[in-house]
Amino acid sequence: MRDMGDTTAYLRRGIREIICLALFFFTFLACEYLFDVRMAEFVSPNEVVIYESLVIGASVIGFFVRPILYYRRPHAIEATSDVTGVLLVAALLLLIMAVQVEVVIAGGLVACCALGYCGSTAHANFARRFARTPCLARAAALSYAMGVLVQVLNHMVMPAGIPQQAVLVVCAIAQVASLHGARRAKLRDESDPSFEPSVAGLSVDALEYGAKWHDDPEAKAAFRRTAARLTVATAYLSGVFAALNAGLATLHATGAVDLGDWPRLLLVVSSLAAGVLFDLRGRSYMNIGMTCAAMLSTLSFFVLIVDGNGGNELAATIIFYLGSGFFVVFFTTKYAAVSLYARWSYFWPCMGRVVNNVCSMFVTAPAVAIISSQNVLAAVGAALVMFVGIAITLLGQLGQRADDAAMRDGLPLATDDLGGDLAPTCSDPEPVEAAELTSDERLDAFVATFGLTERERDILEVLVVSDQSVQDIATTLFLSRSTLYRHISSINKKAGTASRVALINFFWSWTPKD
């Protein structure tokens, strides 16, 4: 499929999805920070870290509930989303005003579950918009950087206490409202009998992707191997960063280091750098870049263990935040790309966050024990396990070239995303001598071969070169959207294609017969 525009155009069209995901990142990080601050009023620093991991782990419930409703009880989503929004705001207010530790814990649990529900929607909408674009990693990085930057500005500009907490509540309401508005818009569009997803906003549930891949037993097996490999890699990486986070959160609770202001600026820098690096050459540098960041982060964990006097927290903090930015962009990008080829594609975009939160819940307590006891031998053993796991799951694909990407329905699928397994069985034939025709010659031949009318020719000419939405194209051609859909349906029928996306792909791969 031809390039539909530069990165700026892609990001501009998907700004709503970027902002929704950024709001999720901010509310999740701010809620976690607020919970730590409130729990530190009642329990010891080590216990704060343990309770934090349990509360974050509870968010997995929300991440699972939303996709299950989407596929099993779609009519219940409207009411459930409204209830979730109310619960989120109520839980945050409870977390702010609680005077007993049990109430703080209850508020944290409910808030994280509700945030998981919202996060699942935000990740799925983000994948729906960007998974098929060449700027997926940069879009993920921009979302995360925006969320972190809002948190930093909130801490630096707003007075501590009620003003900062008010910003959190307002952003939580904005997140719920934006996701609710996005769903309303989607339902309004799909209620049109002639509705067809646009190229830029193709639903992650489009049957021409996930279902077709799973109709092929070999492709299905390859997808499962790839998903398993990615999940294991994410679990190992989560172990590294969860152990580091546990150590630094303990130091933060004791007042030895401040994790609320300037260190988080490193997250902004590292995430943006990761987005640019990961999108190079069809995302072929993702694994090696993430491996290097993980190795450095593991070394900073050693710094916390060996430095019994606590003099190197600054170095550990810098390395941790630089690596964490890479990690979040890594799993957000990877799972968004993989979701296109899953049958339950709505579930997969948030899987990176799910794996990270679950692993953090199980790793935190042992990590705190190792750091507290200064047990170097245990730290060496854990690090070796992580090194081997990361090497096997991430570095095993480095021999593949980005230009060996599989092509499916015009989508360049980097082997780094779904492995080389799919390329032999699912790649489409290369266009035959397509470059010898000019665009006008190809269009004239296509119109003559398939018997298109003059009006259909005008519409096809715009469709195959435009990166605009259907509504914008209809406005350009002085047509109503429903009339444009009818013309597209007529062209699809004559050309033997099933959708606008398939029509554009077919046009650019089609070769006139002599």
> Which of 21-35, 374-388, 485-499 shows the highest mean pLDDT?
21-35
Q: How many CA atoms lie within 13 A of 361 on its CB side?
A: 13
Model confidence pTM above 0.85: no
Query: Is residue 231 within 8 Å of 351, Cβ to Cβ?
Result: yes
Segment 297-315 shows an average pLDDT of 65
Residue 500 lies inside a defined structural domain of this protein: yes
Q: What is the pLDDT of residue 245?
A: 77
What would the two tokens of residue 387 be? 């090194």
Considering the chain, what percentage of its residues have pLDDT values greater than 90?
Answer: 22
Q: Which residues of 59-76 are buried (b: 16+ CB within 10 A; e: fewer)?
A: bbebbbbbbebbeeeeee
Domain shared by 236 and 276, yes or no: yes
Query: Is residue 139 within 8 Å of 133, Cβ to Cβ?
Result: yes
| Cα–Cα distance measured from residue 240 to residue 232, given in angstroms and rounded to the nearest whole number | 13
- pLDDT one-digit tens code per residue, 168-190: 999 999 988 888 776 655 544 44
Q: What is the pLDDT of residue 6?
A: 59
| Cα–Cα distance measured from residue 333 to residue 205, given in angstroms and rounded to the nearest whole number | 18
What would the two tokens of residue 394 be? 């991430």
pLDDT at 89 > cutoff 50: yes
Domain shared by 84 and 140, yes or no: yes
Q: What is the DSSP letter of 483?
A: H
Q: Cβ contacts of residue 424 below 8 Å, gap of 6+?
A: none
pLDDT at 426 > cutoff 50: no
Domain shared by 479 and 386, yes or no: no
Q: What is the DSSP letter of 131?
A: T
Domain shared by 278 and 399, yes or no: yes
Domain with residue 496: its CATH number is 1.10.10
Domain shared by 497 and 380, yes or no: no
In total, how many domains does the chain have?
2
DSSP 298-352: HHHHHHHHH-TT---HHHHHHHHHHHHHHHHHHHHHHHHHHHTT-TTTTTGGGHH
Can you give 201-251 as a three-state secondary structure string? CCCCCCCCCHHHHHHCHHHHHHHHHHHHHHHHHHHHHHHHHHHHHHHHHHH
Q: What is the pLDDT of residue 302?
A: 67
pLDDT at 19 > cutoff 90: yes
pLDDT at 421 > cutoff 70: no
Q: What is the pLDDT of residue 196?
A: 43
Who wins on pLDDT, 35 or 387? 35
Query: Is residue 131 within 8 Å of 336, Cβ to Cβ?
Result: yes
| Cα–Cα distance measured from residue 66 to residue 117, given in angstroms and rounded to the nearest whole number | 6
| Cα–Cα distance measured from residue 53 to residue 50, given in angstroms and rounded to the nearest whole number | 5
- pLDDT one-digit tens code per residue, 158-170: 888 888 899 999 9
Q: Which domain-ending residue is among 403, 423, 448?
A: 403
Segment 186-207 shows an average pLDDT of 40
Segment 475-489 shows an average pLDDT of 81
- pLDDT one-digit tens code per residue, 230-275: 888 888 888 888 877 777 766 665 666 666 567 778 889 999 999 9
Domain shared by 399 and 479, yes or no: no
Q: Which domain-ending residue is among 380, 403, 426?
A: 403
Q: What is the pLDDT of residue 252?
A: 63
pLDDT at 370 > cutoff 50: yes
Residue 326: domain span: 7-403
Query: Is residue 259 within 8 Å of 249, Cβ to Cβ?
Result: yes
Q: Which domain-ending residue is among 403, 422, 442?
A: 403
Domain shared by 247 and 107, yes or no: yes
Whole-number average pLDDT of the chain: 76
Who wins on pLDDT, 10 or 348? 348
| Cα–Cα distance measured from residue 37 to residue 30, given in angstroms and rounded to the nearest whole number | 11
Segment 220-232 shows an average pLDDT of 81
Domain with residue 250: its CATH number is 1.20.1250.20
pLDDT at 434 > cutoff 80: no
Phi, psi of 408 (to 5 degrees): -135, 115
Domain shared by 303 and 451, yes or no: no
Who wins on pLDDT, 409 or 142? 142
Domain shared by 371 and 496, yes or no: no
Residue 417 lies inside a defined structural domain of this protein: no
Segment 212-225 shows an average pLDDT of 64
Residue 421 lies inside a defined structural domain of this protein: no
Segment 355-382 shows an average pLDDT of 77
pLDDT at 314 > cutoff 80: no
pLDDT at 118 > cutoff 80: yes
pLDDT at 412 > cutoff 50: no
> What crossing angle do the helices spanning 481-495 and 439-450 adopt, rounded to 10°?
80
Domain shared by 230 and 308, yes or no: yes
